Amino acid sequence: MLKRYRYRAYPTGDQQQMLARSFGCSRVVFNDAIAARQTARAAGVKISDTDVQKQVVTEAKRTLERAWLGEVSSVVLVQACQDARRAYRNFFDSLAGKRKGRRIGAPRFRSRRDNRQSIRFTRNGFTVTRRGVRLAKIGDVKLEWSRELPSEPSSVSVIREADGRYYVSFVVDVAETPLPEAPTVVGVDLGLADLAAIARSDGVREKIAAPRHLRKVERRLARAQKALSRKQKGSSNRAKDRLRVARLHRRVRETRLDHHHKLAKRLIHENQVVAVEDLAVSGLARTWLAKSVHDAGWSILLRVLEEKAAQHGRQVIRIDRWTPSTRTCSHCGRIGEAKPLHIRQWTCDCGAHLDRDYNAAVNILDAAGLAESLNARGGDVRLALASAGPAETGTHRTDPDHPVEAA
């Protein structure tokens, strides 16, 4: 299975210039490739991948307006073509209903104003060295080897983040290490106040708090974003604020990633199947918290979960985010009124007194087709898992590393 290994990179001034040029060329090729496909589609003409590449790389280099494409590694340009092809294919598969999950929009053109710039080198464009990585037409870039690469990588991306830091991300094929079968399955409701509420088929439930530190940085980020939005375009204060936002973004991202790794590791080790909502952001994130942060956070958690599941022989089931997991009573199945965020518990007409998050987690188990695992255990497990019972006075919160509460 393929895994990513990411390291901080320290390109020299010259290398940064060369990278900037490569980002730019890669962007132009990507955009030209998308445009070529769009034009062909509008004209009702089929255009092959080879044709696109020939047109936007090989032939483009011979023209006056695109001659400068020759200054950067062609490996990078070919990869930009591949990216465009994939973006286009995902779009069409999504249109045709061949792709699971939410609808994907038509491929967006890349902009020089995009916060994150990246290029990719395949095997023939880089060599791993003792101090870092040797990139075609860029040279030896120094890396901080924070952990060892397990084997030869098949490709490497060079990324410049919005805060000006550089990273490289290697794709490495690692061996699978299946775990012995686990007795339980679990439904996970991802939230804002809590990182997650967990309902396990053996009647164990748990709420995992977002770490205090993370919440603090998130609040600072929200304030910084507000400040940024008030600044005049093009002013020097705006540039300063933008950098501050980017730095805070990174801190939120890194802290979050760390916690997601711990959570994913536990869920995958303890359970045979993990059911989780596919980006429940729609309604939730329209609070004062930055939407993009949550979007990113959750999709990263899903990715980490799936990565670990693949590695350990487990299964992750994504639930459509339109399933009204919050409004449906997990005891009787009745779909109630929409529940604003501040309602943490309520009583259904059937008499069940429900905890918002645990109820959602049980519904997610159901939606994943795992209801059997609960029903098999007899009548009360389901209700005990979802109820706002006395065991739940206040909210019992735990650290991702630590344990569980029996319902």
- Interface contacts to Zn ion, rule CB under 5 A: 329, 331-332, 334, 348, 350, 352
CB 187 to Zn ion: min, Å: 17
CB 338 to Zn ion: min, Å: 16
**Nearer to Zn ion by C-beta: 160 or 331?**
331
Segment holding 3, helix H or strand E: strand 2-10
How far is the C-alpha of 25 from the C-alpha of 21, rounded, in Å?
A: 6
Give, in order, the Cα–Cα distances in Å from 33 to each of 36, 60, 80, 81, 121.
5, 11, 8, 6, 18
Give yes or no for a contact between 123 and 154, defined as CB atoms under 8 angstroms apart.
yes
**Nearer to Zn ion by C-beta: 241 or 357?**
357
CB 371 to Zn ion: min, Å: 15
**Nearer to Zn ion by C-beta: 225 or 387?**
387
Give yes or no for a contact between 296 and 209, defined as CB atoms under 8 angstroms apart.
no
How far is the C-alpha of 288 from the C-alpha of 215, rounded, in Å?
A: 13
CB 352 to Zn ion: min, Å: 5
Beta strand 271-277 pairing with 184-190: parallel
H helices present in 43-148, as ranges: 49-53, 59-61, 74-95
For 253-359, where are the E strands, in sequence order?
A: 271-277, 315-319, 345-347, 353-355
CB 345 to Zn ion: min, Å: 13
Segment holding 195, helix H or strand E: strand 194-200
CB 144 to Zn ion: min, Å: 54
Burial class (CB in 10 A: 0-12, 13-18, 19+), 385: buried
Beta bridge partners of 143: 9
∠ CA 171-291-335, nearest 5°, is 105
Give yes or no for a contact between 368 and 317, defined as CB atoms under 8 angstroms apart.
yes
Segment holding 189, helix H or strand E: strand 184-190
Catalytic residue chosen out of the listed positions 270, 277, 306, 366: 277
Decide if 189 is catalytic.
yes
3-class DSSP assignment, residue 185: strand
Catalytic residue chosen out of the listed positions 83, 189, 194, 366: 189
**Nearer to Zn ion by C-beta: 223 or 339?**
339
Give, in order, the Cα–Cα distances in Å from 146 to each of 44, 51, 70, 168.
50, 41, 34, 12
Catalytic residue chosen out of the listed positions 32, 83, 357, 366: 357
CB 185 to Zn ion: min, Å: 22
Give yes or no for a contact between 197 and 188, defined as CB atoms under 8 angstroms apart.
yes
- Catalytic machinery residues: 189, 277, 357
